Chain A
Amino acid sequence: GPKVLQIPSHQIIDMGQMVTLNCDPVSNHLYFYWYKQILGQQMEFLVNFYNGKVMEKSKLFKDQFSVERPDGSYFTLKIQPTALEDSAVYFCASSFSGGSTEVFFGKGTRLTVV
């Protein structure tokens, strides 16, 4: 079936440094999302992105976070600077439409900020 690929699968970074998480969404999908899951907690919506713009973001999407998808390449989540509480698994997802539709998730990137 369709796959969302996330690179890397694990990342360890020093607090205060910048990190970029990369996502290769399903090829014909138009809507892109990032979710955050802290160990032992439920997955939480961060942001969605369509037509080159952020459509909606949650309160977890701090000012240090940014997303982009330049020229149809990777959909990226950048955190600058990172903080200890950013340690989590970040899931990228995509869907063809924004309505009631199947959302495909990647396997996640485990980010550890030390």
Chain B
Amino acid sequence: SQLAEENPWALSVHEGESVTVNCSYKTSITALQWYRQKSGEGPAQLILIRSNEREKRNGRLRATLDTSSQSSSLSITATRCEDTAVYFCATGWGANTGKLTFGHGTILRVHP
């Protein structure tokens, strides 16, 4: 079974709309990270939210974390075509959270 899983599998919106990707995880964590991966590129970190934080913002992005339900969400407001990518949540544990466990990702397509 997956240690981190995003849902839904895919989303399709028009520019300007808001969208939310959810993540559930199965292990204790020290931090959860949201990454975006565009076609032909490696993952790029969007937000890192630590286990003692409930919300973190980065521009149009907002991440929440609920350690009691082991879930997180990433919301993007005022989406743009360039937000089209696969979005991953990745969990880490302990002193070496460079070791990340990724889910399958949510494919987001933003149409003009």
Contact = CB atoms under 8 A, between A and B. Distances in A.
Interface size class of A (residues with CB under 8 A): 20 to 34
Interface of A: 4, 31, 33, 35, 41-45, 48, 55-56, 91, 93, 95, 98-108
Contacts of A44: 102
B88 A100 contact: no
B43 A91 contact: yes
Contacts of A31: 96, 98
B42 A105 contact: yes
B43 A105 contact: yes
B103 A33 contact: no
B110 to A, nearest CB: 22
Contacts of A41: 104
A60 B54 CA distance: 34
A42 B103 contact: yes
B43 A33 contact: no
Contact of A43 (B31, B48, B102): B102
B8 to A, nearest CB: 16
Contact of A42 (B40, B98, B105): B105
A99 B102 contact: no
14 contacts: A42-B104, A43-B43, A43-B88, A43-B102, A45-B100, A48-B98, A55-B96, A95-B98, A98-B98, A99-B30, A99-B96, A100-B92, A100-B97, A101-B98
